[in-house]
Amino acid sequence: MGPLDGLKVIEVASVGPGPFAAMLLADLGAEVLRVDRVEAAAGGGWADPTYDFLARGRRSVAADLKHPDGVETVLRLAERADALLEGFRPGVMERLGLGPDACLARNPRLVYGRMTGWGQDGPLAPAAGHDIDYIALAGALHPIGRRGAPPTPPLNLVGDFGGGGMLLALGVLAALLERARSGRGQVVDAAMVDGASLLMTIFHATEQVGFTTPERGTNLLDGGAHFYDVYETADGEYVAVGAIEPRFYAELLARLGLDARAFEPQMDRARWPAWKERLAAVFRSRTRAEWCALLEGSEACFAPVLTLAEAREHPHARARGAFVEVAGKPQPAPAPRFSRTPARIRRPPPRPGEHTDAALADWGFSGADLARLREAKAIA
């Protein structure tokens, strides 16, 4: 079993970073019980729920959180849980009667994880937003992009998943470790704007010492350097090089058949644009496959730029088992790896409400309880 085996978590269903955090905990062995809306159980969402990869590894109950008995159902679950995750705007869970005070009154040892964009307080706390807004305000969007071009949205990796769900999971686990000492639960306020800002820590330092400039596309790691960029190949594909250290830089130039003396000093930024043009011409002279044959696995810090489908089939990914099939659907395997307690995906993503009766019974609800809740339409 995974390293979190025995941990019991309630996930009040939301979108994006909340489910991602719950997926991480479930992958690592926690028993995560997802509370879906009764409307979701009646239809909507994914036509084939087995493609809802973020919901993998857990069971689902459907409860009406606007019904007093539905709210009471979640509070009873909280009594037996180690942690609860929710991803609504500030105040929503309180209005439902499921805020931290209500849940911690039932279970003072509960760790209550909250996922929002702007945080639980501050002038923007009640405002709507999405990943792009949070990373924009955090200063994480501005540096990403080409010189002279607008900032490039980096999918929703920085706010939703890296600065959001990943840090929510970390915060919950840290609070659980602290609980082992104090015996008390607490509230974890995870905000995507905070997490995105935290991910930019080193860039605040490099800006303040003058190593990084505000002009995007001119710096070491934003595509400004000729030795850290992507290049088009003869067949219209792309390759990536990241030869920062001098010995890796020398290896790259040697394998490209270039005179290293013509590309020194490496950190002469004024010459980067011209050198980039020369490297671009070289890379356009061969196909991606040819460059892979010459450079992949070398000290030149090289990789082909793969599509998602290609990434699943790459020999390195296959050797490491980096992708697994769940219900016939290939998807990323749990990470990181553990030597004694390997993580695994327990089950495919559930249909909303698929396990209502069985899961609630396992969490202490009697047959009479279930019959009463169903008659009241508090569960589905």
The pLDDT score that the predictor gives to residue 47 is 84
Triad 249, 158, 131: Cα angle to 5°: 145
- Domain ends where: 304, 334, 360? 304
- Same-domain pairing of 119 and 242: no
- Same-domain pairing of 147 and 190: yes
- Same-domain pairing of 185 and 245: no
- Same-domain pairing of 49 and 153: yes
Q: What is the DSSP string of 40-65?
A: HHTS-S-SSGGG-GGGTT-EEEEE-T
**Inside any domain, residue 44:** yes
- Same-domain pairing of 45 and 148: yes
**Counted domains in the chain:** 2
Average pLDDT of 26-47? 91
Model confidence pLDDT, tens digit, residues 61-70: 999 999 999 9
Model confidence pLDDT, tens digit, residues 185-240: 999 999 999 999 999 999 999 999 999 999 999 999 999 999 999 999 999 999 99
Model confidence pLDDT, tens digit, residues 117-141: 999 999 999 999 999 999 999 999 9
The pLDDT score that the predictor gives to residue 42 is 82
Q: Which helix (H) or strand (E) is 116 found in, with range?
A: strand 111-116
Q: How far apart are CA 26 and CA 29, in angstroms?
A: 5
- Same-domain pairing of 20 and 103: yes
- Same-domain pairing of 366 and 251: no
Residue 379: DSSP 8-state? B
The pLDDT score that the predictor gives to residue 44 is 72
- Residue 332's domain is classified under what CATH number? 3.40.50.10540
Percent of the residues in the chain that have a pLDDT greater than 90, as a whole number: 97
**Inside any domain, residue 317:** no
Q: Is the pLDDT of residue 41 over 90?
A: no
- Same-domain pairing of 329 and 192: yes
Q: How far apart are CA 323 and CA 311, in angstroms?
A: 9
- Residue 292's domain is classified under what CATH number? 3.30.1540.10
Model confidence pLDDT, tens digit, residues 345-377: 999 999 999 999 999 999 999 999 999 999 999
Residues in the chain: 380
Q: How far apart are CA 7 and CA 261, in angstroms?
A: 59
- Same-domain pairing of 114 and 248: no
Domain boundaries, position 294: 228-232+238-304
The model carries a pTM of: 0.95
Catalytic residues: 130, 160
Q: Is the pLDDT of residue 72 over 80?
A: yes
Q: How far apart are CA 281 and CA 271, in angstroms?
A: 16
- Same-domain pairing of 53 and 95: yes
Model confidence pLDDT, tens digit, residues 101-111: 999 999 999 99
